[in-house]
């Protein structure tokens, strides 16, 4: 059943311009796509509440459930960075990190597919280091660094761990044996 409305039906031109600026969206068509994704997330959240399949117990529960649907629909099934969450929720980076850590711990079965998709995208863009002992990935999210370190320790506690590449801001190396163990455990393509 199609649902149809335009942004002009619900937002003034000034509000649309402010949204584009806040979300870092340069054009009207991109704003339309972003708002369509947000509408899906909000609709799913509202349907769960109305149908009784989800009853929030606290404000934190509401935010976590909202983030779960934003990850699914707005962020295309990937874990957002702290910066993306800060812009969307208008919260400090530290609060965004806490929110990601909490949803990771409390909603692991529901959120694990998003971590897998995020890691697969990161691993697809990997590069072997000069001596071929590790794969290097770019991680701009502190939360993803911490999550990957935790998963590495869980999956391959006796192997080498994730480490920062000297002289870089956001490049990390994953030893080959640890990388292979992570891929096997999470069902990722090496």
Q: Residue 175: its pLDDT value, please?
A: 94
Q: How far apart are CA 93 and CA 138, in angstroms?
A: 19
Q: Residue 22: its pLDDT value, please?
A: 85
Q: Residue 125: its pLDDT value, please?
A: 83
Q: How far apart are CA 97 and CA 103, in angstroms?
A: 10
Whole-model pTM?
0.86
Q: Residue 128: its pLDDT value, please?
A: 66
Q: Classify residue 185 as left (phi > 0), alpha (psi -120 to 50) or beta.
A: alpha
Q: How far apart are CA 102 and CA 41, in angstroms?
A: 19
Cβ neighbours around 123 below 10 Å, total: 18
- Count the residues in the chain: 190
Q: Residue 130: its pLDDT value, please?
A: 65
Q: How far apart are CA 67 and CA 120, in angstroms?
A: 21
Domain borders along the chain are: 7-110, 119-186
Per-position pLDDT tens, the chain of length 190: 788 888 888 889 999 999 898 888 899 999 999 999 999 999 999 899 899 888 888 888 889 999 999 999 999 999 999 999 998 888 999 999 999 999 999 989 999 999 999 999 988 887 766 677 899 999 999 999 999 999 999 999 999 999 999 999 999 999 999 999 999 999 998 8
Contact 16, 23 (CB under 8 A): no
Q: For the chain, where are the alpha helices, taking DSSP H only?
A: 7-10, 13-23, 28-51, 59-69, 82-89, 93-106, 108-124, 142-155, 176-186
Q: Residue 129: its pLDDT value, please?
A: 67
The pair of structure tokens assigned to 31 is 């704003």
């Amino acid at each position: 059943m199609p649902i149809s409305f335009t942004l002009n039906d619900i937002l003034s031109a000034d509000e649309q311009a402010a949204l584009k600026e806040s979300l870092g969206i340069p054009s009207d068509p991109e704003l339309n796509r972003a708002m369509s994704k947000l509408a899906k997330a909000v609709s799913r959240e509202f349907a769960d509440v109305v149908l009784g399949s989800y009853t929030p117990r606290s404000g934190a529960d509401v935010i976590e459930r909202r983030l779960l649907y934003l990850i699914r629909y707005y962020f295309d099934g990937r874990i957002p960075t702290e910066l993306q969450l800060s812009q969307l929720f208008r919260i400090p980076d530290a609060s965004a990190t806490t929110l990601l850590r909490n949803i990771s711990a409390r909603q692991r079965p529901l959120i694990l597919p998003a971590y897998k998709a995020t890691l697969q995208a990161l691993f697809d863009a990997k590069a072997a280091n000069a001596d071929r002992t590790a794969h290097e990935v770019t991680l701009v999210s502190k939360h993803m660094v911490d999550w990957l370190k935790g998963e590495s320790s869980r999956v391959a506690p006796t192997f080498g761990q994730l480490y920062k590449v000297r002289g870089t801001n956001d490049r990390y190396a994953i030893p080959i044996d640890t990388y292979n163990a992570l891929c096997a455990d999470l069902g990722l393509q090496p």
